[in-house]
Amino acid sequence: MPLIGVETEGPIFRVAEGLIPAFEAIIDNNFNPKDKRVFQDTTLADLKQFLANLQARQVAEGHQQGFKRLAPLIDALEQFRQFVDEFCDSTIFMAFVWRASLHKDALNEVLNMYKQIGLVQPLHSQYEELIRKQPEMYMILSVAYSDMIRIHKLTLTFFEQRRWEDLFVTTWTRPKSRCYTHITKMANRLDLMTHRGTASQFATFQFSGAMEEEEIRTKLENEDLKRKQAIYTWLKAVNMQNEQDYFAKIRKEYPSTGHWLLGQTAFNEWFDPQFATLPPLLWLHGNPGAGKTILASMVVEEAKKLSPTPTILFFYCKQDEGDRDNFISMARTLLSQLLMQNPSLLDYIYNKCCNSGEAFLSSRVIIEEILSFSLENCNSAYIVLDGLDECCSRDERRNIVEFFRNLIENLDPDPDRLHCLFVSRKDSARKDFYGLANIEVGREFNEDDIDAFSQVQSQKLGAKLGISGIRLQEIVNFVSAFAEGIFLVAELVWINLCGQTSIDGLEQEMDTLPTDLDKLEEAYSRIMRTIRSTPVRAERDEAIMLLRWLVCAKRPLRLHEVQTMKSINLHQRTIEFDRRRFRVEPKDLCESLVDVRPDGSIELVHSTAKFKSEAVDIAAEEVGLSTLCVDYLNLPCFIGPFPKQAVIDGNYGFMEYAILNWVRHFEAGLSSGSGRVDLMDEFFESMETLLETHWNNPTIAVKLPKRKQGTLNIFESSPKQKEIQQVIASTQEQARRLGDMRPGECALDFTEVVAGIRKQLESVVIDIENTDTSIDEDLKLKYGTNLFKCSRFSCKYFTYGFATKGERDGHVERHERPFRCTDIHCTGFIIGFALKSHLAKHLRETHSELTDQDQLFPTEEEVEQSLRSPEPSHEPEELPPVIAEPLPVAEPEPEPEPETHADTTAQPIRSARPTKRMRASQEYECAFCGKNFSKKFNWESHLKTHGPSEKYPCDMCNTVCARKGDLERHKKKHSDGNAFICRGVSVSGQAWGCGTSFLRADILRNHHKSKKGKKCLAALSEEEQVQIAGP
């Protein structure tokens, strides 16, 4: 609204009116509704009163920050406010200018920044005269002050983090740099206006500025991308999104299932983002196959629908998979998800990455520290942890539950901002979840969902066999009742029924379903009978062979690995990929007992299939797979040189798995008690061939753990027992050790073999890039994707690899020089350092400014308290002239009146109790040695070491100490608890020693080497002296 008595038309009025919507648009694009509201409610008087109170408090605490630096900014913006007030209502406009200052005026860095903003502001008279003559120049003002809003946005985003105090030293540098970039742009724009630039000049400046801003934005994005790549490699996270997408795809086929959970009171009390029951922890449990994982994936999707969107973290554990059955892998994956959703954590985690000295994050202490900090910095987060019963050990599961329970139950403030859902079967370990709200996935909840699932399956069966709708409904009712609330049983029964080829066969299957046996085991058995009854012998044998491999696999096998295994021709000693590979999809071959995931891995339909499959003799198959791996590595194609044609033919698709897992399969076979003499004889024969072909003549023996020495006595009859044991010990160590193996420690030559084969493979990949897509697709079929792999056997990327050579090379460098400079433009980031001490020296000499950061910024609560609560009175540094009432500031009204008393100065609100004036900081110098101290008590304590002013004698001996602390430390020598005493009896029976006692044996030995101590030993013979005092 225009003000009465002022100009309400003409160019100057249109200019002022035009600023309002321009600024409102800027604010809408940079602040959320909450910040906009508080921003608008804050007046200039609030700011000035806050500055006075804050300065008084800092004087009282003895660390003033020089508030005079704000004078240019306050003066210039006060004039600008007066200019706008002459022509329109500027309440909204000025509230936007002041809101962000509530967080930033306290300390040195931010004061300096706002000082620079103030110095570039033009005077009132300059822009008033110019805009009257050139009204179009108001756009310059609008754009220039929009830079100030962006600075507010950057600083507000940083200081609104819950743990910003801890982040300041390591992460403030980059936001600060961006703020000063905006200040420079603002200065250039205002300089153009004050020097009466034309509109065309401003348009040219704007265009070049936009180009420069785009370059800066691209540069920042590239910097962030490099940092993220380094962090993701360091975290070695498991891609859980693939699992989530897979489960979402399953739920999409049956959209009505699972919704019963959303109606449960316990779930809603846990899920409520504002009024959750404390602590917000929930345990979802049920029998194997009840559908808990699908429900967990649904909770993840429901959390994504919340507004505002919280941080969503999820992990699906899986038994016998090293990357998915322990806390460290879980935490690394959750950290990766946190970083994706909270970019503000980038610099913090990146600094931890650069200083860890680890190619992969493996320290549990560091992992817990980073994860705890990152979660505590979240405003809101939902954590879903599924399959905890599949952890590698009972202790691991307990540790996971304890970590998240302790974190969430002790969270303060806002204890309901982190929500965690534990999902597991209900077993003997349920005491880990004692006291938590819980929901059981039981029959009464699953019956309707199983019925909906059965309806869909019945349509497939009806289309195949031509069954009537009435009969199909009868089958649906029968299967739903038979499943008894276990989703997996229903799925397996339907797989078997849909696999029938006639109505008669269908009826026989239904008539023979048991009612009192283990229904899950029976369901698996019936599918296996269906597979065995396949009329084509080749399909039957291949399906059983594939199931055996999958049941015993040490990690999920990839499709190209299975195809290579199938293509091995041991009689011809070749790989016949095109002739022998599977031509039928694994899912069709095994009656839907297996599934091919989007990443190419082949997995059983459920983990229980491993333990319910009667077709697999686990012990025999483990030894058989070990023998297959060794036989594969004995093929001529693994003896150099390695021609490119062998690579193109697909000879090496099973190489990584065979090298890493042949020992694991053999040990699993021994521990399972395989008594098959024929299988063991085959393995011995293959091992002897392996030694003849790939023995590396190691010069350094790798010690075999004692617990494994006994199990390898089976090789006693072999003339190469020692060599075989050395091969097993070396192979296990190479797969486990994080550092490089020395050449003399490697019992086999596979390091050189792998390097030679991969060199040829990478050469083929580079040759065909952008030239022959048919060969490229053929290589994907035979080797999968990500063909540039790490050379270190213990590394995840030895198997999974990278898409480009550059990514792989950068990863390998982190193995060799793991300590990285945090500045990505520095050669210390690109090359790295082998030792942490080298990095520390580099930072001191090259980036010393990174360690010179200020600290102690006020929190938002402190700001509000300063505005509304009395402060102690002191004599502060003089403030710039500002307008404020010297009284406590009340809650601001929505539309405060503009300030009119320009000659008053804000004063700190005085307390009723008088206080002393704080003394200025002072240094204390030692008159004896010249050493300086900032604290008086340290100086006084130091002086006592020079003079005899006060001594502390020991009442047990003649020792006199200069300080009381020294005396107490000395008295410990006389304590009865000290077992190291200088005394004894010589061989001749003579007593020796001074009787002094010592805390440690090494101190006693040093005493005996001293002049005084040698006298104590004088009564002893030379031989006794050497024995007691040491060499």
How much is the pLDDT for 997?
Answer: 77
Per this entry, what is the length of the chain? 1031
Grade residue 611 by pLDDT with cuts at 50, 70 and 90: low
Grade residue 914 by pLDDT with cuts at 50, 70 and 90: very low
823: exposed, middle or buried (Cβ count in 10 Å: 0-12, 13-18, 19+): middle
pLDDT tens, 705-724?
776 766 777 777 778 888 88
Query: What are the tokens at 268?
Result: 């809603």
How much is the pLDDT for 20?
Answer: 54
793: exposed, middle or buried (Cβ count in 10 Å: 0-12, 13-18, 19+): buried
Considering the domain architecture, whether residues 433 and 488 belong to the same structural domain is answered as no
In a domain? residue 483: yes
Cβ pair 351, 172 in contact under 8 A: no
How much is the pLDDT for 680?
Answer: 84
Query: What are the tokens at 500?
Result: 């029938």
Query: What are the tokens at 932?
Result: 């300086």
Rounded average pLDDT over 228-250: 89
Close Cβ partners of 616 (under 8 Å, ≥ 6 residues apart): 547, 548, 551, 552
How much is the pLDDT for 585?
Answer: 85
Least confident of 17-26, 196-205, 283-292, 437-446: 17-26
Residue 556, classed as helix, strand or coil, is coil
Cβ pair 579, 532 in contact under 8 A: no
How much is the pLDDT for 904?
Answer: 44
Domain stops at, among 151, 169, 197: 197
In a domain? residue 58: yes
In a domain? residue 593: no
Task: Look up residue 816 and give its amino acid.
Answer: E
Considering the domain architecture, whether residues 408 and 466 belong to the same structural domain is answered as no
Number of structural domains found in the chain: 4
Residue 672 has pLDDT above 50, yes or no: yes
Q: Hey, what long-range contacts does 780-788 have (CB within 8 A, 24 or more apart)?
A: 780/560, 781/560, 781/563, 781/650, 782/560, 782/563, 782/564, 782/577, 782/650, 782/653, 783/560, 783/650, 783/652, 783/653, 784/558, 784/559, 784/560, 784/600, 784/653, 785/600, 787/761, 787/762, 788/762
In a domain? residue 591: no
Rounded average pLDDT over 165-170: 71
Q: What is the mean pLDDT of the chain?
A: 76
Instruction: Estimate the share of the chain in helix, then strand, then coil, as percent rounded to the nearest 5.
Output: 60, 5, 35
Considering the domain architecture, whether residues 395 and 501 belong to the same structural domain is answered as no
Residue 794 has pLDDT above 50, yes or no: yes
Domain stops at, among 512, 533, 554: 533
Rounded average pLDDT over 82-89: 49
Give the CATH number of the domain where residue 431 resides.
Answer: 3.40.50.300
Rounded average pLDDT over 881-892: 37
Residue 111 has pLDDT above 90, yes or no: no
Please state, for a pLDDT cut of 90, what percent of the chain lies above it.
Answer: 19
Query: What are the tokens at 109?
Result: 């860095």
Considering the domain architecture, whether residues 142 and 130 belong to the same structural domain is answered as yes
Residue 173 has pLDDT above 70, yes or no: yes
Q: Measured between alpha carbons, how far is 719 from 716 in angstroms, rounded to an integer?
A: 8
879: exposed, middle or buried (Cβ count in 10 Å: 0-12, 13-18, 19+): buried
Higher pLDDT, 911 or 657: 657
Grade residue 974 by pLDDT with cuts at 50, 70 and 90: low
Angle at 605 between CA 431 and CA 585, to 5 degrees: 165
Considering the domain architecture, whether residues 424 and 456 belong to the same structural domain is answered as no
Rounded average pLDDT over 364-380: 91
In a domain? residue 703: no
In a domain? residue 917: no
For 463-477, what is the HEC assignment? HHHCCCHHHHHHHHH
Close Cβ partners of 582 (under 8 Å, ≥ 6 residues apart): 542, 546, 562, 563, 566, 589
| Tokens 């901002």 found at | 417
In a domain? residue 484: yes
pLDDT tens, 1007-1025?
887 878 888 877 776 656 6
Higher pLDDT, 33 or 670: 670
How much is the pLDDT for 400?
Answer: 94
Residue 690, classed as helix, strand or coil, is helix
Considering the domain architecture, whether residues 46 and 180 belong to the same structural domain is answered as yes
Tell me the CA distances in angstroms from 836 to 356, 765, 845, one per residue in order: 8, 37, 14
Considering the domain architecture, whether residues 32 and 179 belong to the same structural domain is answered as yes
Residue 864 has pLDDT above 80, yes or no: no
Please state, for a pLDDT cut of 70, what percent of the chain lies above it.
Answer: 69
Close Cβ partners of 1031 (under 8 Å, ≥ 6 residues apart): none
User: Which of 24-33, 78-87, 464-473 tops mean pLDDT?
Assistant: 464-473
How much is the pLDDT for 187?
Answer: 82
Residue 603 has pLDDT above 50, yes or no: yes
Rounded average pLDDT over 390-410: 90
pLDDT tens, 805-837?
888 888 887 777 767 777 666 766 656 676 777
Query: What are the tokens at 8?
Result: 């309400």
Considering the domain architecture, whether residues 453 and 419 belong to the same structural domain is answered as no
How much is the pLDDT for 874?
Answer: 40
Q: Measured between alpha carbons, how far is 863 from 624 in angstroms, rounded to an integer?
A: 71
Phi-psi region of 600 (alpha: psi -120 to 50; beta: other; left: phi over 0): left
Grade residue 256 by pLDDT with cuts at 50, 70 and 90: confident
Burial 542-579 (b: 16+ CB within 10 A, else e): bbbebbbbbbbbbbbbbbbbbbbbbbbeeeeebbebee
In a domain? residue 885: no
Residue 178 has pLDDT above 70, yes or no: yes
Residue 266 has pLDDT above 50, yes or no: yes
How much is the pLDDT for 628?
Answer: 95
Grade residue 634 by pLDDT with cuts at 50, 70 and 90: very high
pTM of the complete model: 0.62
Grade residue 877 by pLDDT with cuts at 50, 70 and 90: very low
Rounded average pLDDT over 98-115: 54
Q: Measured between alpha carbons, how far is 1029 from 24 in angstroms, rounded to an integer?
A: 83
Domain of residue 520 covers 443-533
Residue 386 has pLDDT above 90, yes or no: yes
Domain stops at, among 176, 197, 218: 197
Phi-psi region of 568 (alpha: psi -120 to 50; beta: other; left: phi over 0): beta
How much is the pLDDT for 26?
Answer: 56
**Torsion angles phi and psi, residue 717, rounded to 5:** -80, -10
Least confident of 289-298, 347-356, 410-419: 410-419
**Torsion angles phi and psi, residue 879, rounded to 5:** -85, 155
Query: What are the tokens at 326?
Result: 């322990």
Considering the domain architecture, whether residues 388 and 503 belong to the same structural domain is answered as no
Cβ pair 902, 87 in contact under 8 A: no
pLDDT tens, 464-473?
888 888 989 9
Residue 763 has pLDDT above 60, yes or no: yes
Considering the domain architecture, whether residues 454 and 497 belong to the same structural domain is answered as yes
pLDDT tens, 983-994?
887 777 778 888
Least confident of 220-229, 770-779, 915-924: 915-924
Considering the domain architecture, whether residues 265 and 185 belong to the same structural domain is answered as no
Considering the domain architecture, whether residues 43 and 190 belong to the same structural domain is answered as yes
**In the chain, how many H helices and how many E strands?**
46, 18
How much is the pLDDT for 895?
Answer: 40
pLDDT tens, 322-338?
888 999 999 999 999 99
Query: What are the tokens at 423?
Result: 């999902």
| Tokens 């020097």 found at | 195
